[in-house]
Structure 1
């Protein structure tokens, strides 16, 4: 059966701004450098490729630290959720939460409340990045026809161009037809994919493209998937029963191995509660873009918790955590939802992971669920419950969520924790989740953190890959294959240069291509005003 393709596509607006800004870690006034671009809309597969090259998003703004220039290099870190090994401290946090839910006990072991593993700063949250620029256009509703690019070389003349894009948000398919499979399941809008030169799932050396599914035929469904759906229905019933008893909605997984086998993460999370527990904890996953009913109904409550967190934990003023700012950076997302038949039941896209204690919202984890990972965007919580070490507890719940999603999406095994900053001791806690890997900033190869940290002890910036012959596999980019959205038309860069002979942005386009890599550069669409 042909691989199922995501019908979404990506439109980015890149800025070549190289100005320095204040560092949130070492407090250097002008020591932090990064590259930025605005994502008007983005396919989840494209974002997966970008974070695997050191990019990260804050709202619709995507940024990549300039690793060899910035004062505190930020290394992308991920943990293999399928092989998670709990530390003694993490087990203590899980036990502390269980004691609180069971008996209302808030006294920590040893009589001391541990750090909640959040880097507290009087100048605000360091990982909360403000865009260096604001886009002047909204291209989120642009629709692109399948025949937007006629050939890979882009040799068509300006007179032969067809109107391939609609800035108004209407769909203008070239052949006048509309594929029913291209309807978004959540928004109801028609999305036409870029097909002409899509290399999202191909190696740069691949000579042929893989054909997508036949839209005239119903999608094939494997027997394995049907069995999984039946199993999920049974598990849903068990979750409902667990909820009525005040237990977590996480699937109860009982260990069948000998008593000598360490308890799994699920064993700790689903430790049975007393018949009449002191507290009830419920964890809900709600889609934030487009907002589901559960997200919309709890938006005001979530914003109040966020505001309380920012003011008390990070010292922000009330105007810096307004409702519009909260929506812009933690609710708005460029990721287009995707619900493939072989993917997780929740689908891919942006979500809020809500923690409800006795029907009171106490914490929210902002997450992106992507083809290979769960990416943690941000976490905020009610400071009244700091004694529960919610930073650690939420990370463990997100690891458990990743493990749960992997049952229906085998490739989804990684938990991305954002950036690891070795030069900031308070931010090293992310390395406590094992096994973890850091991304080499030069070859984009993942290196076990145990091999990487000795290098970072010697130098804040380091090429982590020990193979001196290794190179950036996607480092060489054919600029002529880059798709450009220009003057409401989708064209290749070669034609863009002919239509805009006096343009002086070639160096900027080259820089963009080198930062996103060949795979992404040839898949995504770059807007040039």
Structure 2
């Protein structure tokens, strides 16, 4: 029997913001607002459905920013890995990396261009293109270099080695205090996952060497001579690779591993798509128009922003970019096209112009670190509701009465909400009404639809 998606509402809250303040500090006021719930276990399809509506997870804490009331509106951004082409900075990083792997030299050769050598790898890389150069000196895929480089896709499980790399990264790059970093926090943040593994069905006779057998949560390890120097924390979902976080060894800052990891995640999404197992996108988390440490994501093109009011993806172009830097949220289709775009002619140029330095993005590859669910300040559900949410008045008692609730713990039974009694029924129903408004009735399991009807919907639980 399949496992159901279990959700328990936290509600609407405010917290301090880590995006508009320097690394290692947070804003003094609770200016970031969001709605959240706990997803103790979720089907991969359910999670794919909600990230297509602007949600993200940090462990089992699942949240949706209030785009109209937060100091730093956070837009879901995704890259079409099928059409991705590295820009000049990406190519320079890749050339430098391949030069190191093939010669052992870390020196930057200013005259170096794209590596034109013909690999005689053990296994042919699918097609020809940038991904061929990316994997040229990778063990079991490309030709043998002077330096042994390999990648390994493993389940998202905490190990002493991965924790030590995480600790070193957080202290060096994000100025975290050593005493605040422990295995428990690392496991909760970047290893424990509520996603329920589901087999991936690939096209018959497709090349699946090195690809995952299941959708779920993974660590993509980058190894030099057997030592892990970087970890991409990712969720692999039916339509995408969802990038959660990237950790890298501070001793390897010269290699711009952030850019390399972005290309490797794009290659993984593309390979899964080519084998018939996914949609070929990389979801890069949230993009914030006025946050320099988040704008590096604009360098990956073609990218698309989710309009939170309509849940439709739109191209991230200079007009949209310029508008969002100077205005609060409004439906993307209503953004006036006559407004002058930035001087730069491409979104990548806009991102480059606002960066503090050319390699700032490698230090800031993971936005979820600032979305700490601890110590929230609970608030009343706002009116009008956040963009993309329904009005509470449209959620009827009859609609909620059929809500399925897991009663009695993990070994309990499914009952309808109307059959339960609560000490404060008014407050409970208000909480559930808010959950309906935030998620949408079509994502909440109700009675009368059988197992097939609730398979990828949320079953309510109470903590």
Q: State whether TM-score is above 0.5.
A: yes
- Residue in structure 1 matched with residue 261 of structure 2 by the alignment: 394
- Residue in structure 2 matched with residue 211 of structure 1 by the alignment: none
SS in structure 2 at match of 1:100: helix
Distance 1:61 1:502, change over 3 A: closer
CA distance in 2, matches of 1:500, 1:521: 23
Distance 1:465 1:334, change over 3 A: farther
- Residue in structure 2 matched with residue 322 of structure 1 by the alignment: 182
CA deviations on 1:209-255 (whole Å, 9 max, x unpaired) are xxxxxxxxxxxxxxxxxxxxxxxxxxxxx98x46xxxxxxxx62353
Q: Which residue of the other structure, out of 268, 271, 286, is the alignment partner of 2:133?
A: 268
- Residue in structure 1 matched with residue 432 of structure 2 by the alignment: 509
SS in structure 1 at match of 2:289: coil
CA distance in 2, matches of 1:525, 1:254: 43
- Residue in structure 2 matched with residue 147 of structure 1 by the alignment: none
- Residue in structure 2 matched with residue 7 of structure 1 by the alignment: 2
Conservation of the 8 A alpha-carbon contact between 2:101 and 2:137: no
- Residue in structure 2 matched with residue 527 of structure 1 by the alignment: 461
* Mean Cα deviation higher: 28-37 or 72-81: 28-37
Q: Which residue of the other structure, out of 298, 304, 314, is the alignment partner of 1:431?
A: 298
Q: Spell out the pairing of 1:115-514 with structure 2 (5 A cutoff).
A: 241=122, 252-255=125-128, 264-271=129-136, 277-288=145-156, 291=157, 299-342=159-202, 345-450=212-317, 452-466=320-334, 478-487=399-408, 488-496=412-420, 502-514=425-437
Distance 1:14 1:106, change over 3 A: same
| Distance apart, 1:465 and its partner CA | 3.7
How many matched pairs? 370
Establish whether residue 29 from structure 1 lines up as the match of residue 28 from structure 2.
yes
Q: Which of the two has higher C-alpha Rg?
A: 1
User: RMSD of the TM alignment (CA)?
Assistant: 2.8
CA deviations on 1:428-477 (whole Å, 9 max, x unpaired) are 11011111111111111111111531320331433324499xx9698876
- Residue in structure 2 matched with residue 44 of structure 1 by the alignment: 44
SS in structure 1 at match of 2:93: helix
CA distance in 1, matches of 2:214, 2:277: 14
Distance 1:283 1:332, change over 3 A: same
CA distance in 2, matches of 1:275, 1:91: 19
TM-score, with length taken from structure 2 = 0.73
Conservation of the 8 A alpha-carbon contact between 1:402 and 1:414: yes
SS in structure 1 at match of 2:4: coil
CA distance in 1, matches of 2:149, 2:20: 34
Distance 1:272 1:304, change over 3 A: closer
| Distance apart, 1:356 and its partner CA | 0.6
SS in structure 2 at match of 1:402: helix
Conservation of the 8 A alpha-carbon contact between 1:265 and 1:400: no
CA distance in 2, matches of 1:318, 1:379: 19
SS in structure 2 at match of 1:391: helix
Distance 1:353 1:340, change over 3 A: closer
Distance 1:482 1:461, change over 3 A: same
CA distance in 1, matches of 2:134, 2:415: 52
Question: What stretches of structure 1 move > 4 A for 4+ residues in a row?
Answer: 272-276, 342-345, 471-477, 498-501
| Distance apart, 1:513 and its partner CA | 1.5
- Residue in structure 2 matched with residue 216 of structure 1 by the alignment: none
Whichever structure has more strand as a proportion of its residues is: 2
Structure 2 residue runs without a partner (length 5+): 112-119, 204-210, 337-386, 446-456
Distance 1:416 1:406, change over 3 A: same
CA distance in 1, matches of 2:333, 2:388: 11
- Residue in structure 1 matched with residue 342 of structure 2 by the alignment: none
SS in structure 2 at match of 1:64: strand
CA distance in 1, matches of 2:154, 2:13: 37
| Distance apart, 1:378 and its partner CA | 0.6
CA deviations on 1:338-391 (whole Å, 9 max, x unpaired) are 114448752100000000111111000111000111000110010000111111
Conservation of the 8 A alpha-carbon contact between 1:365 and 1:379: yes
SS in structure 1 at match of 2:199: coil
SS in structure 1 at match of 2:324: helix
CA distance in 1, matches of 2:388, 2:183: 41
SS in structure 2 at match of 1:479: helix
